[in-house]
Structure 1
Amino acid sequence: MVTLISFIVLLGVLIFVHELGHFLAARAGNVGVTKFSLGFGPKIIGKKIGETEYVLSWIPLGGFVKLLGESGTEELPPEDEKRSFYRQPTWKRLLIVLAGPVFNFLLAVVIFMMVYLYGIPNLIPVIGQMSPDSAAASAGIVAGDKILSLNGEKITYWDEIKPIITKSKGDD
């Protein structure tokens, strides 16, 4: 269940960033945005601010940004014609369409930068808990002990232990 919820949240973030790219590019290009929706199907909640209706719907498998005059076949008042997506020059329409994937790419770059700058933690080799009848307990090891070396090799992190044990092939 946790995996499913994590997947839905992650997908929601990706969809939001993608649609935000289209939305911001359209707004920057003075193209009207009539709807910004996360999800499909019946709406859970919605609010209209200005000309744009912001909607959260039940099926979290996508989203969309509805642009004014998107299809080119709708009748628009003359004052909205110039803000119609279909009436924009090709280069502007291309920028609006490409903004979604570009924002997803930028999100990936930001995430990689954060992981690179912060790093991935290495766990220090401190014994947390063990079974009282284990071989380690009978050898005098207790919770809180730190493993300093193994077979004469210095240990700094947990991930260094397995290769040493594997290399020893069960020798004492």
Structure 2
Amino acid sequence: MILNIAIGLVGLGVVVFIHELGHLLSAKAVGIEVEAFSLGWGRKLAGVSWRGTEYRISVFPLGGYCKMKGEQSYTKAIEQDAKVIDGEPGSFFAARPWRRIVTLFAGPLANLLFAIAILTVVWWIGFTVETFPNRIVLASEFAPDSTATAQTPAAAAADRAGLRTGDTVESINGRVVQTYADLQQIVAQNALKPLEFVVRR
């Protein structure tokens, strides 16, 4: 449980960091100055300035942020009831509209490209899907006196059909069965219909 939560938080942090990295790269590409780019949130632990941007490592290493020059000008204009937004040279609101659109859109685009890259690597390497094996386990053999088991139609049908615990189902009505999920799907699609099982005992 705790491990799953930790993995989820790390995953969320990576997604946010990639998103903010997209804003950083696009802002610099279109001439918008970036005052600070941080890995993590909160109090700054360390930092270095390079080409007008302070790159930081903050105390909470989840996600990050990209602080562009003048990005608070809109809020200040509203608070001061200003007619126009004061855009200093190199600030976000001094940039032409298309440059701002590119900068804002680059965050989601970075997430999309990152997801495509990860999925491509996963499919290239391959992965294993964990599922139950396609073997028969009769509940009646483990609880022969159970009223609930005796009244279960599926259990009774398996007994009458001569299936035994340990039988491996190879096919049903000619359809190959490789996993327990295959078995479930075929049986569900043919409810109340005769089924021909081929098993290996």
Structure 1 gap segments, 5+ residues each: 74-80, 128-133
Cα deviation, residue 18, structure 1:
0.5
1:156 matches 2:178: yes
Corresponding position of 2:148: none
Cα separation, 2, equivalents of 1:35 and 1:70: 12
**Distance in 2 (alpha carbons) for counterparts of 1:71 and 1:122:** 48
Contact 1:123 1:158 in 2 (8 A): no
Give how far 1:101 is off.
1.8
Query: Hey, what's the Cα distance between the residues in 1 that align with 2:120 and 2:10?
Result: 21
Corresponding position: 1:10 with 2:32:
no
Q: Is the 8 A contact 2:36 2:66 kept in 1?
A: yes
CA RMSD of aligned residues (A): 3.9
Shift in CA distance, 2/95, structure 1 to aligned 2, threshold 3 Å: same
- Which of 91, 97, 113 aligns to 2:98? It is 91
Distance in 2, Cα, partners of 1:165 & 1:100: 46
> How has the CA–CA distance of structure 1 residues 168 and 53 changed in structure 2, closer, same or farther, with 3 Å as cutoff?
same
Change (3 A) 1:55 1:152: same
Identical residues among aligned pairs (%): 32
After TM superposition, where is structure 1 displaced by more than 6 Å over at least 4 residues in a row?
Answer: 150-153, 164-169
Larger Rg: 2
Q: Is the 8 A contact 1:32 1:67 kept in 2?
A: yes
Please give the per-residue CA displacement for 1:56-88, whole angstroms capped at 9, x wherever unaligned. Answer: 323456532112333348xxxxxxx54332321
- What TM-score do you get using the length of structure 2 for normalisation? 0.55
User: What SS class does the counterpart of residue 12 from structure 2 fall into?
Assistant: helix
Shift of residue 148, structure 1, vs aligned partner: 5.9
CA contact 1:34–1:52 (8 Å) conserved in 2: yes
Q: Does 1:100 align with 2:115?
A: no
Structure 1 residues 161, 62: CA separation in 2 closer, same or farther (over 3 Å shift)? same
**2:47 maps to what in 1?**
47
How many equivalent residue pairs? 151
Q: Residue 160 of structure 1 aligns to which amino acid in structure 2?
A: D
How big is the shift at 1:6? 0.8
Q: 2:36 matched to which residue of 1?
A: 35
CA–CA distance in structure 1, aligned partners of residues 70 and 129 of structure 2: 54
TM-score (norm: length of structure 1): 0.63
SS at match of 1:156: coil
More displaced stretch, 160-169 vs 45-54? 160-169
